[in-house]
C-alpha cells in the first residue's frame, strides 16, 4: 500500500501547510479533524497501539474493514503511540513542536497525568492550539464524568422536545450532538488560529459537547428567562407556525411541508382549496396558525392524501410553496440535486476500491477542499511519520520494544 503524503494536498487548498494531531476518539474530535483535513491540513491520526479508535469497529464492515472509519479517517495519516509511556510522551512533544493544532478528548487531567498538559505542550510550541473536546468541559462538578453525545442530547433540552406529545422524549438515531460539536470545534480551532495570527501565541480551546447543541435548539433559555415558557413536545408540528408536518400521499409516500413565511402559508391554503382560512384572524401570525394546527393539518393532509407524491410536489412547486419528500438513504443517493452538487462523491480506496461517501462540507470558488484518500489502516504511516521526525530505524525499533508504538 502506497503511503499518502502531505504533498498530495492541492496547492490551492486553504489549510495546506497546517499540521493537526488528532488524538481524539469516536466522533466529535475526530470529525473536526476530518473537516480540517478536507481543506488541506495535514492530519496525523494518533491511536493507541492496542486500542485503536473505536469508530473503526462501529457499524457495518466490508471484508473486515469498518466503513464508518473510511469516512471519519479520510485525509488522515495514521500512526500508533502510547502516550502513557516515556517514549510515547517524547514523540508527542516532538510532533507538537512541529504542529499547529492538537485535538484531544481525554477526560480532564489525563494529559496532565502523563506530563503532557498545556504547560508542557506550550513549552514545546508556544504557537500551538490545543482543542480539548469533552462531554462537560474542563471544569465544573461534572467535568470528571465520561461524556457522550447521547448525554448532551438528553441534557441540552433536545430530547425532551423531540417526539410525539404523548410519547417519550426521543434521542436521535445518529451522532447529532457529536456532529454539532465537531462543527463547533473546527470553527473554534480556526478562530484560535486567527487569534494566533494577531498575537503570535497559541491557546487552549475548551469545548463541552453539551453546549453547541444547546445553542442549536435556539431561544429556549431566553424564552424561559423572560416568560417562564417551556416548549412542549409537538411531534412534527411546530409551536411557531403551521401547517408544518409530514403528510402521506395517495401512493403511500411521505412529504414534509413548512410554512414559516406568511405568504407561503397563504399559497398553501389556496393550493389545497381552503382559501377561506386565510381570512381567519388567527391565520395572520405563525403562533396563531400553530394554535389551530388541527384545522390546517386536516386541510393540507386531506388534499395531499388524495394525490400522488409527484403530483403534489409539482403542484407545490408551481404554487411556490415549500415541500420536500421524506427520503431514506436510497433516495438521497439517487436525488438529482444531490448529484448535481456531488454531495455524495466517489473515492478510490486501496483496500476496498471505489466507494461513495459525503463530499467536503462546502464549496469554495478559489481554494476548494478535496478528499485525497479514505481512512487508512491502523498505524499505517507510523514509520514514515517517525522517520520524518529524524528517527533512525534502530530508534524506532527501540520504541516498539518499549511499547510506545
Catalytic residues, which ones? 178
Q: What is the largest CA-CA distance in the chain?
A: 85
How many angstroms separate the CA atoms of 370 and 73, rounded? 14
Q: Is 19 helix (H, G, I), strand (E, B) or coil?
A: strand
Q: Is the dihedral of CA 297, 303, 307, 309 positive or negative?
A: negative
For residues 184 and 212, the answer to whether their CB atoms sit within 8 Å is yes
How buried is residue 32: exposed, middle or buried, by Cβ count under 10 Å (0-12/13-18/19+)?
buried
How many angstroms separate the CA atoms of 320 and 314, rounded? 10
φ/ψ of residue 377, rounded to 5: -60, 160
**Nearest CA to 134 among 104, 175, 102?**
104
For residues 35 and 188, the answer to whether their CB atoms sit within 8 Å is no
Helices of type H across 231-356: 262-271, 286-291, 293-305, 309-318, 329-334, 336-341
Query: Rounded to the nearest 5 degrees, what angle is found at the Cα of 327, between the Cα atoms of 322 and 329?
Result: 145
How many angstroms separate the CA atoms of 21 and 12, rounded? 22
Buried b / exposed e over 309-340, threshold 16 CB at 10 Å, is beebbebbeeeebbbeeeeeeeeeeeeeebee
Other residues' Cβ atoms within 10 Å of the Cβ of residue 245: 21
For residues 180 and 126, the answer to whether their CB atoms sit within 8 Å is no
How many angstroms separate the CA atoms of 274 and 272, rounded? 6
How many angstroms separate the CA atoms of 276 and 266, rounded? 10
Q: Is the dihedral of CA 38, 39, 44, 45 positive or negative?
A: negative
For residues 43 and 330, the answer to whether their CB atoms sit within 8 Å is no
Amino acid at each position: 500500500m502506497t503511503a499518502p503524503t502531505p504533498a498530495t494536498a492541492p496547492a490551492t487548498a486553504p489549510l495546506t501547510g497546517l499540521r493537526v494531531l488528532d488524538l481524539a476518539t469516536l466522533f466529535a474530535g475526530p470529525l473536526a479533524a476530518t473537516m480540517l483535513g478536507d481543506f488541506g491540513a495535514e492530519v496525523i491520526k494518533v491511536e493507541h497501539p492496542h486500542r485503536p479508535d473505536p469508530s473503526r469497529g462501529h457499524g457495518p464492515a466490508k471484508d473486515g474493514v469498518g466503513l464508518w472509519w473510511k469516512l471519519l479517517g479520510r485525509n488522515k495519516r495514521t500512526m500508533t503511540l502510547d502516550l502513557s509511556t516515556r517514549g510515547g510522551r517524547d514523540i508527542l512533544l516532538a510532533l507538537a513542536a512541529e504542529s499547529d493544532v492538537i485535538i484531544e478528548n481525554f477526560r480532564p487531567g489525563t494529559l496532565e497525568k502523563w506530563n503532557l498538559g498545556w504547560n508542557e505542550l506550550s513549552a514545546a510550541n508556544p504557537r500551538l492550539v490545543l482543542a480539548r473536546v469533552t462531554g462537560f468541559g474542563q471544569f465544573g462538578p461534572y467535568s470528571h464524568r465520561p461524556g457522550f453525545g447521547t448525554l448532551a442530547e438528553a441534557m441540552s433540552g433536545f430530547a425532551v422536545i423531540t417526539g410525539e406529545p404523548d410519547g417519550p422524549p426521543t434521542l436521535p438515531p445518529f451522532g447529532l450532538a457529536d456532529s454539532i460539536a465537531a462543527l463547533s470545534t473546527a470553527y473554534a480551532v480556526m478562530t484560535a488560529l486567527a487569534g494566533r495570527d494577531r498575537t503570535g501565541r497559541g491557546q487552549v480551546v475548551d469545548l463541552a459537547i453539551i453546549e453547541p447543541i444547546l445553542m442549536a435548539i435556539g431561544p429556549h433559555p431566553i424564552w424561559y428567562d423572560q416568560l417562564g415558557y417551556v416548549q412542549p413536545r409537538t411531534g412534527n408540528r411546530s409551536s411557531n407556525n403551521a401547517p408544518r408536518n409530514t403528510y402521506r400521499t395517495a401512493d403511500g409516500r411521505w412529504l414534509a411541508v413548512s410554512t414559516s413565511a406568511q405568504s407561503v402559508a397563504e399559497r398553501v391554503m389556496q393550493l389545497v382549496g381552503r382559501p377561506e382560512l386565510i381570512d381567519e384572524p388567527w391565520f395572520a401570525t405563525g403562533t396563531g396558525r400553530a394554535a389551530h394546527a388541527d384545522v390546517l393539518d386536516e386541510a393540507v393532509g386531506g388534499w395531499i392524501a388524495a394525490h400522488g407524491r409527484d403530483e403534489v410536489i409539482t403542484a407545490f412547486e408551481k404554487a411556490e410553496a415549500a415541500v420536500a419528500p421524506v427520503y431514506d438513504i436510497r433516495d438521497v443517493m439517487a436525488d438529482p440535486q444531490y448529484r448535481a452538487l456531488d454531495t455524495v462523491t466517489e473515492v478510490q480506496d486501496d483496500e476496498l476500491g471505489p466507494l461513495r461517501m459525503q463530499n467536503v462540507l462546502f464549496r469554495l470558488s478559489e481554494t476548494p477542499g478535496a478528499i485525497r484518500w479514505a481512512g487508512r489502516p491502523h498505524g499505517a504511516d507510523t514509520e514514515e511519520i517517525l522517520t520524518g521526525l529524524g528517527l533512525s530505524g534502530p530508534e524506532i525499533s527501540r520504541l516498539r520494544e518499549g511499547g510506545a508504538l
